[in-house]
Amino acid sequence: DAKTTQPTSMDCAEGRAANLPCNHSTISGNEYVYWYRQIHSQGPQYIIHGLKNNETNEMASLIITEDRKSSTLILPHATLRDTAVYYCIVRGGGTSYGKLTFGQGTILTVHP
Amino acid sequence: GAVVSQHPSWVICKSGTSVKIECRSLDFQATTMFWYRQFPKQSLMLMATSNEGSKATYEQGVEKDKFLINHASLTLSTLTVTSAHPEDSSFYICSARDPDGNTEAFFGQGTRLTVV
């Protein structure tokens, strides 16, 4: 699976949009981009994933560049409860669904 | 989404004893579950893949005789840390594949193990 690069930490004001970038320049054609987050002392929570089209769900939006070498997770109206470590993961298909390689992630701090 | 539950949420044990952690899929059947370990201020590291009815597949560097995995039913996988030592103190997390053919994984809430 392709390696990802994320900033170590980011800050965001409550109510503003949080834009979390991820670089995955070695991504291959059949690999998806997944985002998970982990609130302190809890298990990771699935947020969203995509292949090449932009995706949106009730939690967030995922913007993938046309060359697929980078993506941005957008939390449109961040709240204090969105403070967490956000992981960008790239993985392919096959039978190992659910087998994920976690990087260091981005520590997002939402402040009042 | 699917629900995965771990038990216990935290446990303290003495050095040399064994501890069993359960991972259950509450509303679906999981033929495959995954076990991760997370040390303080570090990311999750995959330990092993648990397969229902067959032997687990361990990642490189993980001792299979120390971390015993049993996946005897479609809703339960257990991880037993044998002869625990303080360096085994960690946050253990399991996950299971989405059963509906989608590709996201669902995680348990994690188990905090402290070996004293």
pLDDT at A30: 85
Q: Inter-chain contact A49–B110, Cβ cutoff 8 Å?
A: no
Q: What is the pLDDT along chain A (112 residues), one digit of tens a residue?
A: 668 999 999 999 999 999 999 999 999 888 899 999 999 989 999 999 999 999 999 999 999 999 999 999 999 999 999 999 999 999 876 555 667 889 999 999 999 9
Whether B107 sits inside 8 A of A97 (CB atoms) is no
Count the alpha carbons within 13 Å of B21 in the hemisphere toward its beta carbon: 32
Contact predicate A22/A73, CB 8 Å: yes
**How far does the CA of residue B18 sit from the closest CA of chain A (Å)?**
23
Q: Any residues with CB less than 8 A from the CB of A81 and at least 6 apart, and which?
A: A39, A110
What does the alpha-carbon distance between residue A83 and residue A35 come to, in Å, rounded to a whole number? 15
Say which residues have a Cβ less than 8 Å from residue B5's Cβ, sequence separation at least 6: B23, B24, B26, B108, B109
List, edge to edge, every strand of the sheet that includes A9-13.
A9-13, A106-111, A84-91, A32-38, A45-50
| Greater pLDDT, A88 or B106 | A88
- B112 neighbors B7 (Cβ within 8 angstroms): no
Cβ-defined contact of B105 to A96 (cutoff 8 Å): no
Tens-place pLDDT, residues B40-94 = 999 999 999 998 888 999 999 999 999 999 998 999 999 999 999 999 999 999 9
Q: How confident is the model at residue B30 (pLDDT cuts 50, 70, 90)?
A: confident
